[in-house]
Amino acid sequence: MTDHYGLIGYPVEHSKSPIMHNQAFQLANIDADYQLFAIEPQNLVTGLSQLVHQGIKGLNVTMPFKQAVVPYMDEISDLSKRLGVVNTISIKNGRLFGDTTDGQGFWSTITGTPEHVIIIGTGGAAQAIIASAPAYSQVHVFNRMSNRFTAKADMLAPLLTEPLHDLTTITQYLSTADLIVNATSVGMQEEASLLSPDQFALTPPQAQVVDIIYKTSDTPFVAAAKQAKRKAMDGLPMLAGQGALSFATWTGVFPDQQRMLAVISKERRN
Protein backbone atom coordinates (compact mmCIF):
# COMPACT_ATOMS: atom_id res chain seq x y z
CA MET A 1 0.00 0.00 0.00
CA THR A 2 1.40 3.37 -1.05
CA ASP A 3 2.22 5.90 1.68
CA HIS A 4 1.47 9.54 0.92
CA TYR A 5 3.50 12.64 1.78
CA GLY A 6 3.35 16.22 0.58
CA LEU A 7 3.81 19.95 0.93
CA ILE A 8 1.20 22.37 2.28
CA GLY A 9 1.36 26.10 1.61
CA TYR A 10 -0.10 28.80 -0.60
CA PRO A 11 0.96 29.04 -3.32
CA VAL A 12 2.93 25.80 -3.87
CA GLU A 13 2.81 25.31 -7.65
CA HIS A 14 6.43 26.47 -8.08
CA SER A 15 7.84 23.91 -5.62
CA LYS A 16 10.54 21.45 -6.70
CA SER A 17 9.95 19.23 -3.65
CA PRO A 18 7.89 16.49 -5.40
CA ILE A 19 10.64 15.88 -7.95
CA MET A 20 13.37 15.28 -5.37
CA HIS A 21 11.23 13.33 -2.88
CA ASN A 22 9.66 11.04 -5.48
CA GLN A 23 13.10 10.24 -6.89
CA ALA A 24 14.37 9.52 -3.36
CA PHE A 25 11.44 7.16 -2.67
CA GLN A 26 12.20 5.35 -5.92
CA LEU A 27 15.93 5.01 -5.18
CA ALA A 28 15.20 3.73 -1.66
CA ASN A 29 12.58 1.24 -2.95
CA ILE A 30 9.94 2.82 -0.73
CA ASP A 31 6.33 2.58 -1.93
CA ALA A 32 5.36 6.22 -1.41
CA ASP A 33 4.60 9.43 -3.25
CA TYR A 34 4.87 13.17 -2.58
CA GLN A 35 2.29 15.69 -3.75
CA LEU A 36 1.54 19.40 -3.52
CA PHE A 37 -1.43 20.64 -1.50
CA ALA A 38 -2.36 24.28 -2.07
CA ILE A 39 -4.43 25.33 0.93
CA GLU A 40 -5.78 28.86 1.14
CA PRO A 41 -4.90 30.46 4.49
CA GLN A 42 -8.48 30.61 5.74
CA ASN A 43 -8.82 26.85 5.09
CA LEU A 44 -5.72 25.68 6.98
CA VAL A 45 -7.50 23.88 9.82
CA THR A 46 -9.98 22.00 7.61
CA GLY A 47 -7.32 21.27 4.97
CA LEU A 48 -4.87 19.85 7.49
CA SER A 49 -7.61 17.84 9.19
CA GLN A 50 -8.72 16.33 5.86
CA LEU A 51 -5.17 15.25 4.98
CA VAL A 52 -4.71 13.59 8.38
CA HIS A 53 -8.11 11.88 8.03
CA GLN A 54 -7.06 10.59 4.58
CA GLY A 55 -4.04 8.92 6.17
CA ILE A 56 -1.16 11.11 5.01
CA LYS A 57 2.10 10.08 6.70
CA GLY A 58 4.07 13.31 6.61
CA LEU A 59 4.05 16.90 5.42
CA ASN A 60 6.45 19.70 4.69
CA VAL A 61 5.16 23.17 5.51
CA THR A 62 5.97 26.33 3.58
CA MET A 63 4.72 29.92 3.56
CA PRO A 64 2.41 31.12 4.99
CA PHE A 65 1.91 28.24 7.45
CA LYS A 66 5.22 27.63 9.26
CA GLN A 67 3.99 29.47 12.34
CA ALA A 68 0.27 28.92 11.82
CA VAL A 69 0.47 25.09 12.13
CA VAL A 70 2.24 25.14 15.51
CA PRO A 71 -0.94 25.16 17.69
CA TYR A 72 -2.21 22.04 15.90
CA MET A 73 0.78 19.84 16.74
CA ASP A 74 0.37 17.14 19.39
CA GLU A 75 4.13 17.19 20.00
CA ILE A 76 6.85 19.58 18.91
CA SER A 77 10.66 19.48 18.88
CA ASP A 78 12.63 21.69 21.24
CA LEU A 79 13.96 23.74 18.32
CA SER A 80 10.50 24.29 16.84
CA LYS A 81 9.21 25.26 20.27
CA ARG A 82 12.07 27.74 20.67
CA LEU A 83 11.50 29.29 17.25
CA GLY A 84 7.73 28.96 17.04
CA VAL A 85 7.93 27.43 13.56
CA VAL A 86 7.40 24.00 11.98
CA ASN A 87 8.40 22.91 8.47
CA THR A 88 8.17 19.13 8.88
CA ILE A 89 5.20 17.18 10.26
CA SER A 90 5.24 13.44 10.97
CA ILE A 91 1.85 11.79 11.46
CA LYS A 92 1.35 8.50 13.29
CA ASN A 93 -1.96 7.15 14.57
CA GLY A 94 -3.52 10.55 13.96
CA ARG A 95 -0.97 12.37 16.14
CA LEU A 96 1.10 15.19 14.65
CA PHE A 97 4.76 15.77 15.55
CA GLY A 98 6.29 19.06 14.36
CA ASP A 99 9.95 19.83 13.72
CA THR A 100 12.05 22.26 11.69
CA THR A 101 14.83 21.16 9.34
CA ASP A 102 15.52 24.54 7.68
CA GLY A 103 18.50 25.46 9.86
CA GLN A 104 20.26 22.10 9.72
CA GLY A 105 19.45 21.83 6.03
CA PHE A 106 21.13 25.18 5.41
CA TRP A 107 24.29 24.41 7.37
CA SER A 108 24.66 21.01 5.65
CA THR A 109 25.42 22.93 2.43
CA ILE A 110 28.18 25.15 3.85
CA THR A 111 31.81 24.17 3.36
CA GLY A 112 34.63 24.92 5.79
CA THR A 113 34.20 26.57 9.18
CA PRO A 114 32.97 30.15 8.68
CA GLU A 115 33.82 32.11 11.83
CA HIS A 116 32.26 35.45 10.85
CA VAL A 117 28.74 35.11 9.46
CA ILE A 118 26.47 37.87 8.16
CA ILE A 119 22.76 37.11 7.90
CA ILE A 120 20.32 39.58 6.35
CA GLY A 121 16.74 39.03 7.47
CA THR A 122 14.71 38.18 10.57
CA GLY A 123 12.01 35.80 9.31
CA GLY A 124 11.42 32.14 10.10
CA ALA A 125 14.20 30.82 7.86
CA ALA A 126 16.67 33.38 9.22
CA GLN A 127 15.80 32.39 12.78
CA ALA A 128 16.29 28.68 12.03
CA ILE A 129 19.69 29.39 10.45
CA ILE A 130 20.76 31.54 13.41
CA ALA A 131 19.58 28.99 16.00
CA SER A 132 21.40 26.14 14.22
CA ALA A 133 24.67 28.02 13.67
CA PRO A 134 27.84 26.19 14.79
CA ALA A 135 29.32 27.29 18.10
CA TYR A 136 32.48 28.57 16.35
CA SER A 137 30.50 31.05 14.21
CA GLN A 138 30.03 34.65 15.32
CA VAL A 139 26.74 35.70 13.75
CA HIS A 140 25.90 39.30 12.84
CA VAL A 141 22.26 39.84 11.82
CA PHE A 142 21.07 42.81 9.76
CA ASN A 143 17.66 44.10 8.77
CA ARG A 144 16.28 47.12 6.96
CA MET A 145 15.26 49.92 9.29
CA SER A 146 11.47 50.18 9.59
CA ASN A 147 8.84 50.89 12.22
CA ARG A 148 8.99 47.17 13.11
CA PHE A 149 12.77 47.14 13.65
CA THR A 150 12.59 47.34 17.46
CA ALA A 151 9.96 44.59 17.64
CA LYS A 152 12.10 42.35 15.43
CA ALA A 153 15.17 43.09 17.54
CA ASP A 154 13.29 42.11 20.70
CA MET A 155 12.00 38.93 19.06
CA LEU A 156 15.50 37.87 17.96
CA ALA A 157 17.28 38.86 21.17
CA PRO A 158 17.17 35.34 22.74
CA LEU A 159 18.99 33.95 19.67
CA LEU A 160 21.66 36.65 19.39
CA THR A 161 24.86 37.51 21.25
CA GLU A 162 24.70 41.12 20.03
CA PRO A 163 21.97 43.58 18.97
CA LEU A 164 20.23 43.44 15.59
CA HIS A 165 22.05 45.76 13.15
CA ASP A 166 20.61 48.31 10.73
CA LEU A 167 21.36 47.13 7.18
CA THR A 168 22.90 50.50 6.29
CA THR A 169 25.82 49.70 8.65
CA ILE A 170 26.73 46.40 6.99
CA THR A 171 29.73 47.64 4.97
CA GLN A 172 32.01 47.89 8.01
CA TYR A 173 31.47 44.16 8.73
CA LEU A 174 32.23 42.86 5.23
CA SER A 175 36.04 42.77 5.38
CA THR A 176 36.06 39.82 7.81
CA ALA A 177 32.91 38.00 6.64
CA ASP A 178 33.43 34.33 5.72
CA LEU A 179 29.75 33.77 4.90
CA ILE A 180 27.08 36.24 3.76
CA VAL A 181 23.46 35.08 3.64
CA ASN A 182 20.36 36.73 2.19
CA ALA A 183 17.58 35.20 4.30
CA THR A 184 14.91 37.57 2.97
CA SER A 185 12.58 37.23 -0.03
CA VAL A 186 14.16 40.27 -1.71
CA GLY A 187 15.02 39.22 -5.26
CA MET A 188 11.97 37.03 -5.88
CA GLN A 189 10.48 39.90 -7.86
CA GLU A 190 12.52 42.42 -9.84
CA GLU A 191 14.19 44.06 -6.84
CA ALA A 192 17.87 44.94 -6.88
CA SER A 193 20.35 42.98 -4.77
CA LEU A 194 20.58 44.04 -1.12
CA LEU A 195 24.37 44.23 -1.58
CA SER A 196 26.21 45.66 -4.59
CA PRO A 197 29.14 44.03 -6.42
CA ASP A 198 31.36 46.73 -4.89
CA GLN A 199 30.27 45.69 -1.41
CA PHE A 200 30.86 42.00 -2.15
CA ALA A 201 34.34 42.95 -3.39
CA LEU A 202 35.14 44.13 0.17
CA THR A 203 34.77 40.58 1.51
CA PRO A 204 37.69 38.12 1.73
CA PRO A 205 38.29 36.35 -1.63
CA GLN A 206 37.29 32.99 -0.14
CA ALA A 207 33.98 34.27 1.29
CA GLN A 208 30.88 32.20 0.55
CA VAL A 209 27.62 33.89 -0.46
CA VAL A 210 24.19 32.26 -0.16
CA ASP A 211 20.75 33.48 -1.18
CA ILE A 212 18.07 31.23 0.34
CA ILE A 213 15.60 31.98 -2.48
CA TYR A 214 15.87 30.47 -5.96
CA LYS A 215 14.64 31.35 -9.43
CA THR A 216 15.09 29.96 -12.94
CA SER A 217 18.31 32.00 -13.22
CA ASP A 218 20.71 33.65 -10.75
CA THR A 219 19.03 35.83 -8.16
CA PRO A 220 20.22 39.47 -8.05
CA PHE A 221 22.13 38.72 -4.81
CA VAL A 222 23.97 35.77 -6.37
CA ALA A 223 24.62 37.68 -9.61
CA ALA A 224 26.14 40.62 -7.70
CA ALA A 225 28.40 38.29 -5.71
CA LYS A 226 29.56 36.48 -8.85
CA GLN A 227 30.30 39.82 -10.48
CA ALA A 228 32.71 40.40 -7.58
CA LYS A 229 34.24 36.93 -8.24
CA ARG A 230 32.85 35.43 -5.02
CA LYS A 231 31.60 31.86 -4.63
CA ALA A 232 27.80 32.12 -4.54
CA MET A 233 24.81 29.77 -4.55
CA ASP A 234 21.07 30.16 -4.33
CA GLY A 235 18.51 28.31 -2.22
CA LEU A 236 18.35 25.01 -4.12
CA PRO A 237 21.10 23.32 -2.03
CA MET A 238 19.27 24.35 1.16
CA LEU A 239 16.03 22.96 -0.28
CA ALA A 240 17.77 19.63 -0.88
CA GLY A 241 19.35 19.73 2.58
CA GLN A 242 16.15 20.33 4.51
CA GLY A 243 14.31 17.90 2.22
CA ALA A 244 16.81 15.13 2.95
CA LEU A 245 16.35 15.66 6.68
CA SER A 246 12.55 15.57 6.34
CA PHE A 247 12.79 12.37 4.28
CA ALA A 248 14.97 10.75 6.97
CA THR A 249 12.55 11.86 9.70
CA TRP A 250 9.64 10.18 7.92
CA THR A 251 11.30 7.01 6.64
CA GLY A 252 14.36 6.33 8.80
CA VAL A 253 16.40 6.31 5.57
CA PHE A 254 18.83 9.14 4.82
CA PRO A 255 18.72 9.82 1.05
CA ASP A 256 21.54 10.94 -1.22
CA GLN A 257 21.38 14.71 -0.76
CA GLN A 258 23.57 15.38 -3.82
CA ARG A 259 21.23 13.36 -6.05
CA MET A 260 18.27 15.29 -4.66
CA LEU A 261 20.07 18.53 -5.52
CA ALA A 262 21.04 17.24 -8.97
CA VAL A 263 17.47 16.37 -9.97
CA ILE A 264 16.00 19.74 -8.92
CA SER A 265 18.89 21.60 -10.57
CA LYS A 266 18.28 19.67 -13.79
CA GLU A 267 14.56 20.44 -13.60
CA ARG A 268 15.30 24.14 -13.29
CA ARG A 269 17.45 24.08 -16.45
CA ASN A 270 14.70 22.43 -18.50
- The CA distance from 90 to 36, in Å, is 16
Known catalytic residue: 66? yes
Ordered per-residue pLDDT tens for the chain, 270 residues: 999 999 999 989 988 999 999 999 999 999 999 999 999 999 999 999 999 999 999 999 988 899 899 999 999 999 999 999 999 999 999 999 999 999 999 999 999 999 999 999 998 889 999 999 999 999 999 999 999 899 999 999 999 999 999 999 999 999 999 999 999 988 888 789 999 999 999 999 999 999 999 888 899 999 999 999 999 999 999 999 999 999 999 999 999 999 999 999 988 776
Residue 146 marked as a ligand binder: no
- Cα 128 to Cα 48, 53, 133, 168, 177: the distances in Å are 23, 30, 9, 24, 20
Do 178 and 148 share a domain, yes or no?
Answer: yes
- The CA distance from 175 to 194, in Å, is 17
Do 215 and 226 share a domain, yes or no?
Answer: yes
Instruction: Give this prediction's pTM.
Output: 0.90
Residue 19 marked as a ligand binder: no
Do 178 and 138 share a domain, yes or no?
Answer: yes
- The CA distance from 257 to 109, in Å, is 10
Do 131 and 84 share a domain, yes or no?
Answer: no
Of 265, 141, 123, 249, nearest to 185 by C-alpha is 123
Do 226 and 255 share a domain, yes or no?
Answer: no
Do 142 and 60 share a domain, yes or no?
Answer: no
Which structural domain range is residue 82 located in?
Answer: 3-100+237-269
Domain count for the chain, please give it.
Answer: 2
Residue 15 marked as a ligand binder: yes
Do 36 and 19 share a domain, yes or no?
Answer: yes
Q: Which of 57, 66, 215, 266 is catalytic?
A: 66
Do 132 and 226 share a domain, yes or no?
Answer: yes
Dihedral pair phi/psi, residue 32, rounded to 5°: -155, 160
Do 23 and 127 share a domain, yes or no?
Answer: no
Decide if 195 contacts 221 (C-beta within 8 A).
yes
